[in-house]
Amino acid sequence: MDKYIIYNNPEARKKKKRINEINDLMGIKLTGQYIVFAAQNYDEQIKNEGYARIFGMQGFCIKKGVARLGSGLAPKDFWDIYLKQDCDHMVWISKSIGDADDDHFTWVYSHELQHLKQSLRNPYFLTLQNELIYLLVEKGQDMLSVEIPTEYDAEQKAQEIFIDIFKSEKNCKRYKEKQKELSDYWKEHFAKFDEMNEMKIWENMAVEEAIIQFACKYQQRIKEIQQLNGNRHARYSLDIDELCSSKNIQKAIKARGISDV
C-alpha cells in the first residue's frame, strides 16, 4: 500500500504512524487510489479562479474522469500523480494540513478518506456534492456545506475516528471549541454540525438516498440559481429534474461533450 501514499511534505511523513492507524480504522485498501501529501499550499499561486478554489482547500478527493478538471493549470505534483495510468482516485492533502497538529490532521484526513469511500461506492457522489455546494452555498447562500449529506457523513466519520483515536468525547468537544475560536466559518460549521447530530439528521438513511432527497427538496431553488448563474463547469451540468424523477445521480450529471484527460 505504501506505493500509493506520496509524501511530498516531510512533516506529513512524520505522521506516518497516525496515517496508517487512520487507514486501518477506516478499512482503507489502496489499489489505484493515491494519497498525496502536498509540499505547498497553492491558493496564492494559481490564478485561475476555479483552480484556486480547489487547491486553496485543506484537502479534497477526486475521481479521475468524473471530476473533469481539464489540464494545464493545476500544480505539477498533482498532475504527476493524476496522469499515472493506474491512478483511479486521488486524495490530496495540503501542506497546511500535513503540518497541522495531531487533532486537526486526524479530523481532516479522516474526513477526506470518507469522501474516498463515498466515491468508491458511487463515483458521481462528489460531483453532485460539488454542484450543490456551488449552487446552494456559494451562489444561493442558503446554507452551509455541512448540511449537504455527503459532507455531513464525512464529518460524522471524522468525529467517530477522532473519538476512537483520542479515547474521549471530551477531547472531541475541546477540538471543536478550539476550531470555533479560529473564525466565524468554523463557529457556524460546528454549531450546525452539532445541531444536526442532536436532531439525528439522515439517521438510518444511505448517503445516496439522503443526498438525492436533499437535492430534490431544493429542486425549484436550484433551477432558479442555475438560470441566474449558468453552469459551473463547461464539462458537465446538473439536471435537477432528471435527478428528482429518476433518482439516478449518474443520469443527472450531463456531460457536455468536452474532452478530459
- 76, 153: one domain: no
- 134, 244: one domain: yes
- 133, 90: one domain: no
pLDDT, tens digit, 9 for 90 and up, residues 230-252 = 666 556 789 999 999 999 999 99
Beta strand ranges found along 117-249 (DSSP E)? 236-238
Report the distance separating Cα 152 and Cα 184, nearest Å.
Answer: 19
The CA–CA distances, whole Å, from 90 to 93, 158, 222 equal 10, 18, 29
Q: What's the confidence (pLDDT) of residue 111?
A: 96
Domain limits at 39?
A: 1-101
Q: Which of 211, 241, 210, 213 is nearest to 226 (CA)?
A: 241
Residue 107 included in any domain: no
Residue 117 included in any domain: no
Neighbours of 157 (CB within 10 A): 19
Radius of gyration from C-alpha coordinates of the chain: 18
Residue 116 included in any domain: no
- 246, 166: one domain: yes
Q: What's the confidence (pLDDT) of residue 73?
A: 57
The H-or-E segment that residue 243 falls in is: helix 240-246
The stretch 123-152 carries a mean pLDDT of 88
CB 30 within 8 A of CB 86: no
Residue 196 included in any domain: yes
- Report the Cα–Cα distance between both ends of the chain, in Å, rounded: 25
- 152, 88: one domain: no
- 92, 133: one domain: no
Residue 232 DSSP label: S
pLDDT, tens digit, 9 for 90 and up, residues 8-43 = 999 999 999 999 999 999 999 888 899 999 887 765
Alpha carbon 92 to its chain's center: 10
- 160, 67: one domain: no
- Checking DSSP bridges between strand 33-37 and strand 89-93, what pairing results, if any? parallel
Residue 35 included in any domain: yes
Question: Which is it for the CA torsion 90, 151, 50, 128, positive or negative?
Answer: positive
- 19, 143: one domain: no
Question: Which is it for the CA torsion 84, 72, 226, 112, positive or negative?
Answer: positive
- 132, 87: one domain: no
Cell of 73: 493549470
- 128, 227: one domain: yes
- 155, 192: one domain: yes
- 134, 169: one domain: yes
Residue 106 included in any domain: no
Amino acid at 5: I
Residue 111 included in any domain: no
Report the distance separating Cα 248 and Cα 255, nearest Å.
Answer: 15
Q: What's the confidence (pLDDT) of residue 201?
A: 83
pLDDT, tens digit, 9 for 90 and up, residues 79-97 = 788 888 899 999 989 899 9
Residue 78 included in any domain: yes
Residues in the chain: 261
> Total domain count for the chain?
2
**Percentage of the chain surpassing pLDDT 90?**
56
Domain end marker among 71, 101, 131: 101
